[in-house]
Chain A
């Protein structure tokens, strides 16, 4: 069509230049939501904490003996905590899926879509919010773990590496759950969609060594994404052997983030141009 080129010559502001500013605006909006309605943040905090206390104080004695070499509850805390921290890093997924879905089903997103703003900012705001939320949960869960007897021997660099890996995982999970939230028709199904993902650490090396599992499950536990991430964390915090788990963990996190990102974009664009 030729009228587009004949249209008044006022150059359209490139939306891209506002991508960061708009994303930060959306982030502030999401943080306000979290502050005003902390129940979601509390529930994603309570889950890993309950798991921690349950496994340490209820099962800890028996499991400590089970993981070998005359272990006790204290040894088991050290084995368990990296797994619990990993769970905490995945726990934000449900909250993200729910808040993205709520946004999509309400009129406000249609308003955003008629405004001259960076379109992606709606999602990047959610993803950044989710990562910050998870970071806060991680700090609290780690704090409680230290308080009940977690004794890591990590250096500052190792702590930083562990934090980086966890935040990278949270970032990938946030993109994935944003896609799930957008694809979901109702808030209920949005909250269910990421549940299998948050359950996966249990089927890995989070609470017990995979060697103690039946063959099929052990095979699954060894090759699923969370086991190498878990082993890397354990290695960074407690000095166990990491081997090539570190690279595999990074590869999985990259894959999760890439999958989530492209899936989100595809769903978002489909929803936009119905």
Chain B
């Protein structure tokens, strides 16, 4: 594995990769934004094909919300260009606004109205006819399981219900491109799963493009076709969930042995493994796939050593953030495989 590649090269390569058969929904080159001395975005390149889910993953303050704000015409970048379905977000903001829907980090609902009134308000603002507005409202209430609460004041809603209503309001105008800024932050596990299901259905049923920001690897893993990791205003990695997980050294299999002799034998077989003499265990890097596990077990079988127990440790949020969103003392991070990313793009 090469470790000298500068991480952002991969992102650039992906962004400029030969166009696939799908047209590009969102593209950005060299987006920069600072507030005073604080650089929030330091040159972001993106290319998101139509009908896919893209996740921007990063810790608090990485610049995720700022990216969404620029792409959704809320603020303007200091430098760089961004196109939404071919329309420039700065020069042609109004065309962009007819195509997008935004659901922000904090539920943007009118807390003084009922759920139904909120949706009807959106219908009016999307300039739907009265009957079309009513039909769409009823349809969305039904679909989001809010029919019972339709006439209740939004102020009485739980966090999960508010988020659902928020997303429903975004959908009133049938946007082709939807920005979801941390759609499940602060939700309980049940509401989060509901939200995921709704988001996935949007793509499979209606072919919309979704730009999602999240702090949760699990969420990105669950939903996104491609994930980019943002840290301190820079993209430090980009790829599919699988590609990213492979980059994270946190993924490993831990095998425990009965005694030191077995451990020593096994350690000789797995050159790249880490030995833990005290626990009589061997930590072998792994992506946790069945193929990989079978290979490890086969290798162990071949030597005739007896493994006492085996645990699979898949990379989690901490692994991603501690490695990819580079603290200075973190282990060196390999760049995502540019070749794989480009190949995938061209085989679409």
- Contact between chains at A1 and B76 (CB < 8 Å): no
As a 0/1 sequence over residues 82 to 108 of chain A, the CB contacts with chain B under 8 angstroms (1 = contact) are 000000000000000000000000111
22 contacting pairs across A/B (C-beta < 8 A): A1-B88, A3-B88, A4-B91, A4-B92, A8-B85, A12-B94, A12-B95, A12-B98, A15-B94, A22-B125, A25-B124, A29-B110, A32-B112, A32-B113, A107-B107, A111-B102, A113-B73, A114-B72, A115-B97, A116-B94, A116-B97, A274-B35
Chain B residue with the shortest CB-CB distance to A3:
B88
**What's the Cα separation between A107 and B109 when bound, in Å?**
7
Q: Is A185's beta carbon under 8 Å from chain B?
A: no
Q: Give B contacts to A, CB under 8 Å.
A: 35, 72-76, 81, 83, 85-88, 91-92, 94-95, 97-98, 100-102, 104, 106-113, 117, 121, 124-127, 153, 169-170, 173
**What's the Cα separation between A107 and B169 when bound, in Å?**
13
> Which residue of the partner chain, among B92, B102, B110, B124, contacts A114 with CB atoms under 8 Å?
B102
Chain A residue with the shortest CB-CB distance to B68:
A114
- Contact between chains at B95 and A7 (CB < 8 Å): yes
As a 0/1 sequence over residues 19 to 61 of chain A, the CB contacts with chain B under 8 angstroms (1 = contact) are 0011001001100110011000000000000000000000000
- Contact between chains at B81 and A10 (CB < 8 Å): no
Residues in A neighbouring B94, C-beta threshold 8 A: 12-13, 15, 116
- Contact between chains at B88 and A7 (CB < 8 Å): yes
Q: Is A159's beta carbon under 8 Å from chain B?
A: no
**What's the Cα separation between A273 and B153 when bound, in Å?**
32
Known A25-B124, A28-B124, A32-B112; 15 more pairs at CB < 8 Å: A7-B83, A7-B95, A8-B85, A8-B86, A8-B87, A36-B112, A36-B153, A107-B106, A107-B109, A110-B102, A111-B102, A111-B108, A111-B170, A274-B35, A274-B75
Q: Is A202's beta carbon under 8 Å from chain B?
A: no
**What's the Cα separation between A112 and B125 when bound, in Å?**
9
Known: A4-B88, A107-B106, A273-B76. A114 touches B100 (CB 8 A): yes
Residues in B neighbouring A6, C-beta threshold 8 A: 86
Known: A12-B95, A15-B94. A110 touches B104 (CB 8 A): yes
Q: Is A117's beta carbon under 8 Å from chain B?
A: yes
Chain A residue with the shortest CB-CB distance to B33:
A274
Residues in B neighbouring A21, C-beta threshold 8 A: 124, 127
Chain A residue with the shortest CB-CB distance to B126:
A115
Q: Is A168's beta carbon under 8 Å from chain B?
A: no
Q: Of residues 100 to 136 in A, which have CB atoms within 8 Å of B's CB atoms?
A: 106-108, 110-117
Q: Is A18's beta carbon under 8 Å from chain B?
A: yes
Residues in B neighbouring A113, C-beta threshold 8 A: 73-74
> Which residue of the partner chain, among B100, B121, B127, contacts A29 with CB atoms under 8 Å?
B121
- The minimal Cβ–Cβ distance linking A16 to chain B, given in whole angstroms, is 10
**What's the Cα separation between A170 and B254 when bound, in Å?**
75
Residues in A neighbouring B126, C-beta threshold 8 A: 115
**What's the Cα separation between A112 and B95 when bound, in Å?**
15
- Contact between chains at A7 and B86 (CB < 8 Å): yes
- The minimal Cβ–Cβ distance linking A151 to chain B, given in whole angstroms, is 41
Residues in B neighbouring A107, C-beta threshold 8 A: 104, 106-109
Chain A residue with the shortest CB-CB distance to B103:
A111
Most buried by B among A4, A8, A18: A4
- Contact between chains at B125 and A115 (CB < 8 Å): yes
- Contact between chains at A110 and B108 (CB < 8 Å): yes
How many CB-defined contacts (below 8 Å) exist between A and B?
Answer: 91
> Which residue of the partner chain, among B72, B87, B117, B170, contacts A32 with CB atoms under 8 Å?
B117
Residues in B neighbouring A12, C-beta threshold 8 A: 92, 94-95, 98
**What's the Cα separation between A125 and B83 when bound, in Å?**
32
> Which residue of the partner chain, among A8, A33, A37, A273, contacts B75 with CB atoms under 8 Å?
A273
Residues in B neighbouring A15, C-beta threshold 8 A: 94
Chain A to chain B: the 3 pairs with minimum beta-carbon distance, closest first: A107-B108, A111-B108, A116-B97
**What's the Cα separation between A22 and B107 when bound, in Å?**
22
> Which residue of the partner chain, among A18, A22, A29, contacts B113 with CB atoms under 8 Å?
A29
Residues in B neighbouring A1, C-beta threshold 8 A: 81, 88, 91
Residues in B neighbouring A10, C-beta threshold 8 A: 95
**What's the Cα separation between A25 and B124 when bound, in Å?**
7
- Contact between chains at A111 and B98 (CB < 8 Å): no
- The minimal Cβ–Cβ distance linking B96 to chain A, given in whole angstroms, is 9
- The minimal Cβ–Cβ distance linking A37 to chain B, given in whole angstroms, is 6
Chain A residue with the shortest CB-CB distance to B97:
A116
**What's the Cα separation between A28 and B92 when bound, in Å?**
29
- The minimal Cβ–Cβ distance linking B36 to chain A, given in whole angstroms, is 11
- Contact between chains at B75 and A3 (CB < 8 Å): no
**What's the Cα separation between A18 and B126 when bound, in Å?**
10
> Which residue of the partner chain, among A13, A106, A108, A273, contacts B98 with CB atoms under 8 Å?
A13
- Contact between chains at B97 and A108 (CB < 8 Å): no
Residues in A neighbouring B173, C-beta threshold 8 A: 115
**What's the Cα separation between A21 and B74 when bound, in Å?**
22
Residues in A neighbouring B127, C-beta threshold 8 A: 18, 21
- The minimal Cβ–Cβ distance linking B148 to chain A, given in whole angstroms, is 20
Residues in B neighbouring A115, C-beta threshold 8 A: 97, 125-126, 173
- Contact between chains at B104 and A3 (CB < 8 Å): no
Residues in A neighbouring B76, C-beta threshold 8 A: 273
Chain A residue with the shortest CB-CB distance to B71:
A114
- The minimal Cβ–Cβ distance linking B42 to chain A, given in whole angstroms, is 18
**What's the Cα separation between A4 and B83 when bound, in Å?**
9
- Contact between chains at A114 and B97 (CB < 8 Å): yes
- Contact between chains at B73 and A114 (CB < 8 Å): yes
Chain B residue with the shortest CB-CB distance to A21:
B127
- The minimal Cβ–Cβ distance linking A154 to chain B, given in whole angstroms, is 39
- The minimal Cβ–Cβ distance linking B302 to chain A, given in whole angstroms, is 59
Residues in B neighbouring A116, C-beta threshold 8 A: 94, 97-98
